[in-house]
Chain A
Amino acid sequence: MKPFAYARPGSAAQAVRDVAAEPQAVFLAGGTNLVDHLKLGVAQPELVVDVRRLTSRDITDLEDGGLRLGAASTNSEVAADRRVRERYPVLAQALLAGATGQLRNLATTGGNPLQRTRCVYFQDVTTPCNKRQPGSGCSAVGGYTRYHAVLGTAAALPDPTAPETCIATHPSDMAVALAALDAQVQVLGRDGARTVPFVDLHRLPGDDPSRDTVLEHGELITAIDLPPLAPGARSAYRKVRDRASYAFALVSVAAVVDPDGVRIALGGVAHKPWRASRAEEVLHGGPLTEDAVRHAMDVELTAAQPQPGVDGGNGFKIPLVSRTVVATLRDLEASS
């Protein structure tokens, strides 16, 4: 591990200034992803700024009936909170489907959405990776693609040598639920505070796969707000994985059904938590029958691009995610 300086400033504002002033600085919260990356050489910061005790650990009621999750609240605490379990079951279920008890006790609300992809090539510093080392190429194309994207990638087979190629997925379960809930991210930067809709926090690779989010260097998440759900709203998270526990999603689905319609977010299929807006539009105002949902997902997945790979590729994800949406909505309808 490369040597680094460690700082624990007196305030979140000072932490933001410290990181903004040093291009090779990073924030540290729970550390479950960053410390691993320090060991692997994926992250090689000059300065680590510890913010775990600088933001709120509280979960508080908002005046509009929503809930504010302080950035330092742990994944365990949020999943166990009575208000989250009763009002936002999709979020509790997503958190509990991720990682393990020992990890959820460390991982935080602010850190979880900012964890990096688990693409094996990103984590292996001996292989080219545009996300880790911009311009070096993408080793995943044509390689092991079981955990990789089928949405939001180039329409044709991506060129592994092109600097913009990246077929990585975002690994967080929590983030998929937050996308479906239309959460709002409270961000502190050098020029003050701003609010970023959660669905806009993460980005597609575009021409710079090294950037996972729209946050500028030095911007810090201080809280995540959950807007109130309409009376009678129901929500659920469903995750499909290679083993029963402690595995990243092959695909996952977060769904919220309320009198205004249905909201669907997909995990394991794209560089960001994927809000299935096209399917939502198709389903708007109509009944959530299995046929209707299947048709809506066909529309959503018209642009899906299966990746071939040495492991058989990931084309299986396209029917799998469609069926997982059908099953999630069927269960929600049955529980109404």
Chain B
Amino acid sequence: MDAEISLTVDGVPRRLTVDTRTTLLDTLRERLGNTSPKKGCDHGQCGACTILLDGERALSCLALAVAHDGAELTTADGLAPQGELHPVQQAFLDRDAFQCGYCTPGQVCSAVGVLQEVRRGWPSHATRDLTADPGLTHDEVAERMSGNLCRCGAYANIVPAVQDAAR
């Protein structure tokens, strides 16, 4: 069954008709040609499909497009609109925070969300004192990024990259 929806993708308004079963991930990749978010597991377990949905990091494989009619989506592609890298993207390059790169767009979007959440003072499982503002220690970054798997195992460089980007 079809539904007509509007989305703003990386700043560009789009109108399209989608099957009600279509996820945001498939809408981006298969309908709009934006292959920046990746289909790793397609079950919410790997984080490769992470985008910013109305400004917050979210898994695009578990979101039905029809349920997010009117939403604003930002992919890793949209973080560098004129080719100028986002500080998180630059930090990933500087720190060599990837090998194959497949998980990287999801890692980058997730990191942008993490930095925003930390700026707001949101706690994590690694935050000792729930009433204090969390810092960006190694443990805090590792916990907050735990939803993004990297099977090359570049974690040792991803964590410092995220810390660098916060500076």
Q: Report A-chain residues with C-beta under 8 Å of the C-beta of B142.
A: 245
Q: Is there contact, CB below 8 Å, between A102 and B20?
A: no
Contact A102 B58 (CB under 8 A): yes
Q: Which of A1-49 contact B (CB under 8 A)?
A: 1, 3-6, 8, 28, 31-32, 35-36, 38-40, 48
Closest CB of chain A to B110's CB: distance in Å? 6
Tell me the complex Cα distance, A52–B113, Å.
22
Judging by beta carbons under 8 Å apart, are B130 and A32 in contact? Answer: no
For window 122-166 of B, CB contacts with A under 8 Å fall at 122-125, 127, 130-131, 142-144, 146-147
A-B contact count (CB 8 A): 111
Whether B85 is near chain A, meaning CB under 8 Å from some CB there, is: no
Q: Which residues from B are CB-within-8-Å of A330?
A: none
CB-CB nearest in chain A for B23: A35
Pair B122/A28 contact, Cβ less than 8 Å: no
* Interface residue A195 (Cβ < 8 Å from any Cβ of B): no
* Contact in complex: A103, B147 (CB < 8 Å): yes
**Inter-subunit contact A3/B57 (CB<8 Å):** no
Say yes or no for B31: interface residue by CB 8 A criterion: no
Give the segment of A78-86, A164-172, A177-185 that binds chain B: A78-86
Given A6-B3, A6-B20, verify A106-B63 contact (CB < 8 Å).
yes
> Beta-carbon contacts of B29-73 to A below 8 Å, as 1s and 0s?
000000000000011100100100100111101111011000000
A306 at the interface (CB under 8 A from B): no
Q: Is B114 an interface residue (CB 8 A)?
A: yes
Residue A128 lies at the interface, judged by CB distance under 8 Å to chain B: no
What 0/1 readout, one digit per residue, does chain B (3-42) give for beta carbons within 8 Å of chain A? Answer: 1000000000000000111010000000000000000001
Residue of A nearest to B43 (CB): A36
Q: How far is the CA of A96 from the CA of B134 in the complex (A)?
A: 13
Quick check: A35 and B62 within 8 Å, CB to CB?
A: yes
Question: Given the complex of chains A and B, what is the CA–CA distance between A48 and B66 in angstroms?
Answer: 11
Q: Does A101 sit within 8 A of B, measured CB to CB? A: yes
- Please indicate which of the listed interface residues B42, B66, B125 has the most CB atoms of chain A within 10 Å of its own CB: B125
B20 near A4 (CB under 8 angstroms)?
yes
Which range holds the interface residue count of chain B? Answer: 35 or more
B121 lies within 8 A of chain A by Cβ: yes
| Interface: A186 (CB within 8 A) | no
Chain B's closest residue to A52 (CB) is B67
Query: Could you tell me if B44 and A6 are in contact, using CB atoms closer than 8 angstroms?
Result: no
Q: Which residues from B are CB-within-8-Å of A3?
A: 1, 19-21
* Residue from A1, A8, A85, A246 in contact with B123 in the complex, judged by beta carbons closer than 8 Å: A85
Q: Is A277 an interface residue (CB 8 A)?
A: no
**Tier of interface size on chain A:** 35 or more
Determine the chain B residues whose CB is within 8 A of the CB of A31 once the complex forms. Answer: 62-64, 67
Q: Specify which of B42, B59, B61, B66 is in contact with A6 (CB 8 Å cutoff).
A: B66
Q: Knowing A31-B64, A32-B62, A106-B62 are in contact, say whether A101-B130 is a contact too (CB < 8 A).
A: no
Are B67 and A6 interface neighbours, CB within 8 A? yes
Residue B117, interface by CB 8 Å: yes
In the complex, which residues 80-119 of chain A have their Cβ closer than 8 Å to any Cβ of chain B?
80, 82, 85-86, 89, 92-93, 96-97, 99-103, 105-106
Whether A50 sits at the interface, judged by CB under 8 Å, is yes
Contacts of A8 in B (CB 8 A): 67
B167 interface hit (Cβ, 8 Å): no
Please tell me if the beta carbons of B147 and A246 are within 8 angstroms of each other in the complex: yes
Query: Contact between A97 and B1 (Cβ–Cβ < 8 Å)?
Result: no
Bound together, the chains give a CA A80 to CA B134 distance in angstroms of 11
Residues of B within 8 Å of A102, CB to CB, are 47, 50, 57-59, 110, 113, 147
**Are B20 and A103 neighbours in the complex by a CB distance under 8 Å?**
no
Tell me the complex Cα distance, A122–B117, Å: 35
Q: Cβ of B21: which chain A residues have Cβ within 8 Å of it?
A: 1, 3-4, 38
Chain A residues with CB below 8 A from B110, complex form: 101-102
Which residues from B are CB-within-8-Å of A76? 56, 117, 122
B64 in contact with A105 (CB, 8 Å):
no
A4 proximity list for chain B (CB < 8 A): 1, 20-21
Q: A28-B67, A85-B130, A245-B146 are in contact. Are A96 and B124 (CB under 8 A)?
A: yes
19 residue pairs from A and B, CB less than 8 Å apart: A4-B1, A5-B1, A5-B20, A31-B62, A32-B59, A35-B23, A39-B43, A52-B67, A76-B117, A76-B122, A85-B123, A85-B130, A85-B131, A86-B130, A96-B125, A101-B144, A101-B147, A102-B113, A106-B53
Query: Nearest 7 pairs between A and B by C-beta?
Result: A100-B147, A245-B146, A6-B20, A80-B122, A85-B130, A96-B125, A246-B146
